[in-house]
């Protein structure tokens, strides 16, 4: 009876809890939050000073008593307490200016394919502790496929490649389930580290991770571009320790990213090798879909299409495909019931 009463007043939200960014979808309103999964904490008082964009701007610029942390690693909770506080911050932000006792929301939240039962329980516990009334856990590639309007309930092969911040997941979906999948901890964050390593080895320059990400976005590519692009690389000289700036072009960054791009291509080919022939035939005809921030790397779709000999397309707004999928699930209760993972809390109890 109380559940029915609360459900009448409470909000329904979908959360894409990503390594790089957290997105929140509010039923009937759409995406209301899209901020980095970064938290700034005062070590002395153990208080949270900033979350999201504000915290990300502090990266590498803090005094010793302030630490800026990413509480998720490869899409999995690495710091439970900070994740809980971050989720509470975002849930409270959705309910800003409202009386929250009756507004404990129903939450659909996503996890990677390679998540363990313990890790799944941590996600459920953190979400409930942050103020949720009910938690439904779904797999990220499944949510991304739904958000991209793929016919996942049909008896056909749907191949999706989700390149996020912490990991790349390849899934073949049919009849509302994942038939085969492969995952690797190489994605957007690793590409940033590739650029940092390249700058150090080739140009004797220490570059911060945020700036490396900026370079990747501005001139990063997976294949040769029709027009040359340049961008200043700024950092600290390894030898002199003084500030230094050099101009780099797209070929430099392409060389830096080559290892990660090759690893993603090999992962896709491996996934295709273990896919049943009937589904492979469907994928060959229908192609595969790229989602996640990594899908925006210039020319990556063409490199994958050439290597796998299969048509490749990029989802509309690939960064929001997962959270848009949670929004569709909030509307379609039958589909949500069909694809929700069993509660790890119930299994363990």
The encoded tokens of residue 207 equal 């570059």
Q: What is the pLDDT of residue 2?
A: 45
> Is the separation of the CB atoms in 158 and 172 below 8 Å?
yes
pLDDT of 349: 47
Q: Which CATH architecture has domain 188-257?
A: Alpha-Beta Complex (3.90)
**3-class secondary-structure state, position 219:** helix
Same fold, 2-143+321-343 and 151-186+266-315: yes
Span 158-187, average pLDDT: 96
The whole-angstrom separation of Cα 243 and Cα 27 is 48
Query: What predicted TM-score, i.e. pTM, was given to this entire model?
Result: 0.91
What backbone phi and psi angles, to 5 degrees, belong to 187? -160, -145
Task: Give the range among 6-15, 27-36, 61-70, 196-205 with minimum mean pLDDT.
Answer: 6-15
Three-class secondary structure of residue 89 per DSSP = helix
What are the structural domain ranges in the chain?
2-143+321-343, 151-186+266-315, 188-257
Which three-class secondary structure state does DSSP give residue 24?
strand
Widest pairwise Cα distance in the chain: 70
Note the pLDDT of residue 75.
85
**Please, are residues 287 and 280 in contact by the beta-carbon 8 Å criterion?**
no
Q: Residues 298, 318: contact at Cβ < 8 Å?
A: no
Q: Over pLDDT 70: what percentage of the chain?
A: 94
Helices 117-129, 80-94: crossing angle, 10 deg rounding? 40
pLDDT recorded at residue 5: 47
pLDDT band at 1, cuts 50/70/90?
Answer: very low
- The CA distance from 258 to 272, in Å, is 21
At residue 99, the pLDDT reads 53
- The reported pLDDT for the residue numbered 344 is 76
DSSP, residue by residue, 279-343: HHHHHHHH-EEEESGGGGSBTHHHHHHHHHTS-EEEPSSGGGHHHHHHHHHHH-HHHHHHHPPPP
What is the band of 98 on the pLDDT scale with cuts at 50, 70, 90? low
Q: What is the pLDDT of residue 250?
A: 96
8 Å CB contact between 163 and 321: no
Judged against a pLDDT cut of 70, whether residue 3 lies above it is answered with no
- Give the mean pLDDT of the chain: 92
Query: In 10 A of CB 263, how many CB atoms?
Result: 15
Instruction: Please provide the DSSP assignment of 155-199 as one string.
Output: SS-EEEEEE-SS-EEEEEEETTEEEEEEEES-SHHHHHHHHHHHH
CATH domain 2-143+321-343 topology: Nucleotidyltransferase; domain 5 (3.30.420)
Q: Model confidence at 18, in pLDDT bands (50, 70, 90)?
A: very high
pLDDT at 202 > cutoff 70: yes
Residue 165 has pLDDT above 60, yes or no: yes
DSSP state of 221: B
Mean pLDDT of 226-243: 95
- CATH superfamily of the domain spanning 151-186+266-315: ATPase, nucleotide binding domain (3.30.420.40)
pLDDT score, position 4 = 52
Among 9-18, 25-34, 307-316, the range scoring the smallest mean pLDDT is 9-18
Q: Is the pLDDT of residue 100 over 90?
A: no
Q: 243 — phi, psi (to 5°)? A: -60, 145
């Amino acid at each position: 009876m109380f559940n029915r009463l609360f459900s009448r007043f409470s909000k329904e939200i979908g959360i894409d809890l990503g390594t790089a960014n957290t997105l929140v979808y509010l039923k009937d309103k759409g995406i209301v939050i899209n901020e980095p999964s970064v938290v700034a904490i005062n070590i002395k008082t153990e208080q949270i000073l900033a979350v999201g964009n504000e915290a990300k701007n502090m990266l590498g610029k803090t005094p010793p008593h302030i630490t800026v942390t990413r509480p998720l690693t490869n899409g999995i909770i690495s710091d439970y307490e900070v994740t809980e506080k971050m989720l509470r911050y975002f849930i409270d932000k959705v309910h800003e200016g409202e009386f929250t006792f009756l507004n404990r929301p129903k939450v659909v939240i996503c996890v990677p394919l390679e998540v363990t039962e313990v890790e799944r329980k941590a996600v459920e516990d953190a979400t409930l502790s942050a103020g949720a009334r009910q938690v439904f856990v779904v797999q990220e590639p499944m949510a991304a496929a739904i958000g991209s309007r793929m016919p996942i309930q049909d008896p056909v092969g749907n191949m999706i490649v989700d390149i996020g911040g912490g990991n790349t997941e390849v899934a073949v979906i049919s009849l509302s389930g994942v038939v085969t999948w492969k995952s690797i901890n190489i994605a957007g964050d690793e590409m940033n580290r590739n650029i940092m390593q390249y700058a150090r080895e080739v140009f004797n320059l220490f570059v911060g991770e945020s700036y490396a990400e900026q370079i990747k976005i501005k001139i990063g590519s997976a294949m040769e571009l029709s027009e040359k692009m340049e961008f200043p690389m700024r950092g600290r000289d390894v030898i002199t320790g003084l500030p230094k700036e050099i101009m780099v072009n797209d070929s430099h960054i392409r060389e830096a990213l080559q290892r990660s791009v090759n690893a993603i291509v090999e992962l896709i080919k491996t996934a295709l090798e273990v896919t049943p022939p009937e589904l492979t035939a469907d994928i060959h005809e229908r192609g595969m879909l790229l989602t996640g921030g990594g899908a925006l790397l210039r020319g990556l779709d063409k490199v994958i299409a050439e290597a796998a000999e299969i048509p490749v397309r990029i989802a509309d707004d690939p960064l929001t495909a997962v959270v848009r999928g949670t929004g569709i699930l909030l509307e379609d209760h039958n589909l949500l019931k069909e694809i929700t993972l069993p509660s790890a809390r119930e299994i363990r109890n």
